[in-house]
Amino acid sequence: MPKLGRVLVIDDEVDMLENCTRLLSRLGYEVVTEADSAKASLLYERERPDLVLTDLRMQGLDGLGVLRAIRAIDPEATVILVTAFATIETAVEAIREGAFDYLPKPFSADQLKVCVERALEQRRLREENRRLLEQLTETYRFDNIIGKSLPMIQVFQTIKKVARSEANILIIGETGTGKELIARSLHVNSRRTAGPFIPVDCASLPENLLESELFGHEKGAFTGAQATRPGLFEFANGGTIFLDEVGDISLNLQAKLLRVLQEREVRRVGSNRIIEVDVRVISATNRDLAQSVATGGFREDLYYRLNVISIPLPPLRDRKGDVPLIANHYFKKYAASSGKEVRGITPEAMRLLEEHTWPGNVRELQNVIERAVVLAKHELLRPQELPEHVRIKVEAVSPKDLPLKRAKEEWAASFERDYLIHLLKRHDGNISQAAKTAGVDRKTVHRLMKKYGIKLS
């Protein structure tokens, strides 16, 4: 009959080795034995058994030493310690060191059978869970976008429906939700996949420089224009241009962009020559453009040109179940590049990650995991490696339990902190730009960062 698994038995008493071999073989297990505990780890490395059964008290290296040596080779090794000295202290120490269970002598055949079956069942479930997680990660990946939540599955379905059309697309979502990844996915799955994909950060450049970047300029068109330079619309010809944070474009430049979209042609700054371009436009914003249209901050005609099809991108806090997938994805990425012996995230740390509200969305989670891997001192990422704002949970207090003044102060502090984190993420940690957007000076931003313990990754 097929063997149920391979068991390595380690004991310096020959009678015990023979008894265990007889009992386990009768149950259907393949048994390997070793009487010299100092050689046990070498035998384990060569044989790679499914389970290790080791005596605690032996000449030379004791059972705890064997356990440590084997788990240094394989941190997931399943080990049962056997001893006649059954004390609570040694049992706790063995479990703390990673033993699966503790079997006191003398034991019956039934006790051995149950303990071995439980250990191998736990090993089987662990391996099955790992396979399922890997399958989930592959199943729910879409061009490096990860998610299994209903909102993300709807995003994937929309991408598949509209990617091959020529319609302009507006991606709507908070900073850090992965809008550029969605744009790249649309391009890769479009008929223009062989053409260029040109991203433009519309929020990072002043109006005159952004105009030159988009449409190009002639030599001498303005101070510093020492040579003729094609614009990004020309570079994107035959492909896709991605206008990130399009809501930050000035009204004057909006009019020029509208003409490009209508006529499919550009005119470089300082030139009268018309250049035809064949470009698909995908844009993104973290603003409510419909509200901006209503208040006169964004042109209505341009809004409808850009928003032929809209893709709302959910914030991470609304993507139930996606945090573990994303966290494990970035963990594998940074663990592989760090050269450290880290192999996973503890359940306690993962629980904290799942409970966090992620104002910086996927980008914040990515930064947190990268930081944790850099700081890791053990084989598993622990809560201690997570930043304080993720690690420490403040118990929610009902406003009715607080005086009005205190409730207002608590709300204001929470808003202020989340606003600052969002702003710094939006400007990739550029304090000057964050201060400018907030309408305060750099000293104020530094003071608030210190007040709320916010550090740039």
Has residue 172 got a pLDDT over 90?
Answer: yes
The alpha carbon dihedral of 143, 145, 146, 148 has a sign of negative
Say yes or no: domain 396-457 is CATH 3.30.70: no
Note whether 66 and 10 are within 8 A (CB): yes
88: left (phi over 0), alpha (psi -120 to 50) or beta: alpha
Is the omega angle on the peptide bond into residue 347 within 30 degrees of 0, that is, cis? no
* For range 336-357, the mean pLDDT: 88
Per residue in 163-201, is it b (16+ CB within 10 Å) or e — as a string?
Answer: beeeebbbbbbbbbbbbbbbbbbbbebbebeebebbbbe
In the chain the first and final C-alpha atoms are separated, in Å, by 57
Question: Which CATH code for domain 148-313?
Answer: 3.40.50.300
Note whether 233 and 266 are within 8 A (CB): yes
What's the confidence (pLDDT) of residue 340?
A: 82
Q: Which residue has the tokens 């996606």?
A: 322
* For range 378-394, the mean pLDDT: 82
pTM > 0.85: no
The per-residue pLDDT of the chain, averaged, comes to 86
Has residue 1 got a pLDDT over 50?
Answer: no
Closest among 426, 411, 413, 434 to 359, alpha carbons compared: 426
84 compared with 354, residue with greater pLDDT: 354
455 compared with 385, residue with greater pLDDT: 385
* For range 202-227, the mean pLDDT: 87
What's the confidence (pLDDT) of residue 171?
A: 97
* For range 29-38, the mean pLDDT: 92
Q: How confident is the model at residue 138 (pLDDT cuts 50, 70, 90)?
A: very low
- Sequential DSSP letters for 87-129: -HHHHHHHHHTT-SEEEESS--HHHHHHHHHHHHHHHHHHHHH
What's the confidence (pLDDT) of residue 69?
A: 92
pLDDT tens-digit series, residues 281-323: 999 999 999 999 999 999 999 999 999 999 999 999 999 789 9
Strand bridging mode 141-142 / 145-146: antiparallel
* For range 399-415, the mean pLDDT: 65
Q: Which of 66-70, 128-132, 336-340, 424-428 shows the lowest per-residue confidence on average (mean pLDDT)? A: 128-132
Q: Which residue has the tokens 């503890």?
A: 346
Give the separation between CA 358 and CA 356, rounded to whole angstroms: 6
Phi, psi (deg, nearest 5) at residue 103: -115, 110
Q: How confident is the model at residue 395 (pLDDT cuts 50, 70, 90)?
A: very low
Say yes or no: domain 6-136 is CATH 3.40.50.300: no
Q: Which long-range contacts (CB under 8 A, 24 or more apart) does 41-48 make?
A: 41/66, 41/69, 41/70, 41/72, 41/73, 43/8, 44/8, 44/70, 44/73, 44/74, 44/77, 45/73, 47/6, 47/8, 48/6, 48/74
Amino acid found at 70: I
Q: Give kind and range of the element (H or E) at residue 43.
A: helix 40-47
148-313 and 396-457 agree in CATH topology:
no
| Per-domain residue ranges of the chain | 6-136, 148-313, 315-393, 396-457
For residue 216, what are the β-bridge partners? 230
Say yes or no: domain 315-393 is CATH 1.10.8.60: yes
Note whether 186 and 173 are within 8 A (CB): no
439: left (phi over 0), alpha (psi -120 to 50) or beta: left
What's the confidence (pLDDT) of residue 75?
A: 85
pLDDT tens-digit series, residues 34-59: 999 899 999 998 889 999 999 988 88
What's the confidence (pLDDT) of residue 237?
A: 94
What's the confidence (pLDDT) of residue 397?
A: 43
Closest among 157, 143, 169, 155 to 280, alpha carbons compared: 169
Could you tell me the CA-to-CA distances from 76 to 6, 227, 272, 427 in Å, in that order?
Answer: 15, 62, 70, 42
Give the separation between CA 15 and CA 86, rounded to whole angstroms: 20
Has residue 400 got a pLDDT over 70?
Answer: no
Could you tell me the CA-to-CA distances from 137 to 53, 159, 440 in Å, in that order?
Answer: 35, 19, 43
Has residue 212 got a pLDDT over 50?
Answer: yes
Cβ atoms < 10 Å from Cβ of 154: 13
Has residue 233 got a pLDDT over 90?
Answer: yes
Q: How confident is the model at residue 87 (pLDDT cuts 50, 70, 90)?
A: low
